[in-house]
């Protein structure tokens, strides 16, 4: 097996036991990026020299008996909205082409402290929205060039799937960890809001933004989350709760846990039969592993989506107040139109949105007293083509909000999710699923993700690049 095909935890163990050097691993991945990323365009800044320096430092530390943990010497990519000291951090925006922060984001600093090798900053949509800036060539899905990569963490989805890094950091405001995970056959964890620091993040919507890992398995994603989670004095919104041992938790299995599914919710609204069939098969796997499946009524009656839009619109306007409208001509047309429309959101809309958010959170609290986890699709549609999504972005056809139907409620609610590969279409395209849990239920989500992946092999399939 070639180096890029190994799991994060496998390559970590080989580096720790000095069967592989971190420098050897980095050089192998740099060569792979050089060979394939000219076509895939997932990397916005390749950090080759610093990555080699970090790898050599990791090798020296490990040789001296100092092992920092599972990320030590392992190449990781970060979405280009995380500050990196002295290096360009664009947030996918032309207006920030010259921005070089004076410090690292807390997540970046924690990755470095864990000994991770930062190999690249990864491409993304403009301002973490749904469309790439016209001046920035969009990434290509390694499973099918014609199909969507998911957004906004587009490069963070493509790079691990293509074997350019062993995991990446994404952000999620309405599904931007889960949609690229579904599109690229990855596992992503959107943590509880406040579980991971957002200091040093170029925000889209502060009340909805989450930072989390994307990798090729639940176990690998858990290792990354272990390094980045926890309270941060630079971000007062982080939770003070101690960080559990996520890696240890994945050994516990799922026997006795209660799995909730609202079949009307997950199969209604034109959800394709292939997604419904994939959900049923996944529920059967989890039931065979010892979970008790229970039908539920997911809270769909109130205007939670409108609530999310009102909060989102107001906070997008706040995030761009320094630059918009005075630099409106430097924005792409989609984000410019979004910011113009955000000027029309009234205080009443925002107040209603905040109240609807609290109603959703209250109903979720009640629901999670009945079940441990909720199963839902990752996307509300089979993987769309870029042609379809770009037509929506240009306003030529209405935006299909059902694509995000199963992701945005968990941002408004602030609860954690794990997204994971559930199967493939007849055409060989990935179908992603997600589990949601109550606040700070990441250990339970990881247990379920690992158990499912021990019983299935969808996550082990790789895109046909070689």
Whole-number Å distance between alpha carbons of 464 and 36: 12
Whole-number Å distance between alpha carbons of 458 and 438: 26
Q: 153 near 214, Cβ under 8 Å?
A: yes
Candidates 12, 176, 181, 419; catalytic one? 176
Q: Please provide the size of the chain in residues.
A: 466
Whole-number Å distance between alpha carbons of 286 and 456: 11
Cis peptide before 325 (omega within 30 of 0): yes
Task: Name the CA dihedral angle for 57, 12, 242, 257, rounded to a multiple of 10 degrees.
Answer: 170
Fill in the DSSP letter of residue 291: P
Q: Give 123-138 as a DSSP string.
A: ---GGGSSS--TTSPP
Candidates 152, 205, 408, 438; catalytic one? 152
User: Which residues, 6 or more positions from 399, have their beta carbon under 8 angstroms from its beta carbon?
Assistant: 130, 392
Candidates 21, 42, 79, 205; catalytic one? 79
Q: How many Cβ atoms are within 10 Å of 297's Cβ, its own excluded?
A: 13
- Nearest CA-CA partner of 24 in 60, 77, 73, 86: 73
Burial 15-24 (b: 16+ CB within 10 A, else e): bbeeebbbbb
User: Which residues, 6 or more positions from 466, have their beta carbon under 8 angstroms from its beta carbon?
Assistant: none
Task: Establish whether 79 is a catalytic residue.
Answer: yes
Whole-number Å distance between alpha carbons of 447 and 246: 9
Burial class (CB in 10 A: 0-12, 13-18, 19+), 240: exposed
User: Which residues, 6 or more positions from 34, have their beta carbon under 8 angstroms from its beta carbon?
Assistant: none
Start-to-end CA distance of the chain, whole Å, equals: 13
Task: Establish whether 176 is a catalytic residue.
Answer: yes
Whole-number Å distance between alpha carbons of 28 and 33: 9
User: Which residues, 6 or more positions from 299, have their beta carbon under 8 angstroms from its beta carbon?
Assistant: 359, 360, 363, 364, 367, 409
Task: Establish whether 112 is a catalytic residue.
Answer: no
Residue 128's Cβ-side half-sphere holds a number of Cα atoms within 13 Å equal to: 30
**Which active-site residues does the annotation give?**
79, 152, 176
């Amino acid at each position: 097996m070639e180096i890029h095909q190994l799991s994060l935890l496998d390559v970590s163990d080989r580096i720790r036991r000095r069967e592989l050097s971190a420098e050897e691993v980095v050089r192998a991945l740099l060569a792979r990026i050089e060979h394939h990323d000219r076509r895939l365009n997932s990397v916005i800044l390749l950090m080759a020299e610093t990555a080699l320096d970090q790898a050599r430092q990791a090798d020296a530390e490990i040789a001296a008996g100092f092992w920092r943990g599972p990320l030590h010497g392992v190449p990781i990519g970060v979405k280009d909205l995380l500050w990196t000291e002295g290096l360009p951090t664009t947030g996918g925006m032309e207006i920030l082409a010259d921005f070089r922060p004076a410090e690292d984001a807390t997540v970046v600093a924690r990755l470095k402290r864990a000994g991770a090798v930062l190999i690249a900053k990864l491409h993304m949509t403009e301002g973490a929205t749904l469309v790439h800036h016209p001046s920035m060539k969009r990434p290509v899905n390694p499973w099918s060039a014609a199909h969507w990569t998911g957004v906004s963490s587009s490069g963070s989805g493509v790079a691990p799937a293509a074997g350019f890094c062993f995991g990446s950091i994404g952000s999620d405001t309405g599904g931007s960890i889960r949609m690229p995970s579904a599109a690229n056959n990855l596992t992503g964890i959107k943590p509880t809001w406040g579980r991971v620091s957002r200091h040093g993040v170029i925000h889209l919507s502060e009340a909805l933004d989450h930072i989390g890992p994307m990798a090729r398995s639940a176990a690998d994603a858990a290792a990354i989350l272990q390094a980045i989670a926890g309270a941060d004095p630079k971000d007062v919104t982080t939770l003070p709760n101690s960080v559990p041992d996520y890696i240890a938790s994945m050994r516990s299995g799922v026997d006795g846990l209660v799995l909730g599914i609202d079949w009307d919710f997950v199969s209604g609204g034109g959800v394709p039969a292939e997604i419904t069939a994939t959900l049923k098969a996944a529920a059967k796997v989890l039931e065979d592993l010892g979970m008790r499946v229970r039908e539920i009524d997911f809270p769909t009656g109130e205007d939670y989506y409108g609530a999310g839009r009102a909060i989102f619109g107001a906070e997008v306007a706040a995030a761009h107040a320094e630059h918009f409208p005075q630099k409106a001509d430097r924005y792409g047309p989609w984000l410019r139109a979004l910011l113009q429309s955000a000027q029309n959101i009234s205080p009443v809309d925002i107040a209603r949105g905040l109240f609807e958010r609290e109603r959703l959170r209250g109903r979720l609290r009640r629901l999670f007293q009945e079940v441990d986890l909720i199963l839902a699709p990752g996307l509300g549609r089979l993987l769309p083509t870029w042609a379809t999504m770009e037509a929506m972005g240009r306003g030529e056809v209405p935006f299909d909000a059902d694509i995000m139907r199963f992701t945005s409620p968990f941002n408004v609610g602030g609860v954690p999710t794990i997204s994971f590969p559930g199967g493939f279409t007849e055409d060989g395209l990935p179908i992603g699923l997600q589990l949601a849990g109550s606040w700070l239920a990441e250990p339970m989500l990881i247990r379920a993700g690992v158990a499912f992946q021990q019983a299935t092999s969808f996550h082990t399939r790789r895109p046909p690049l070689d």
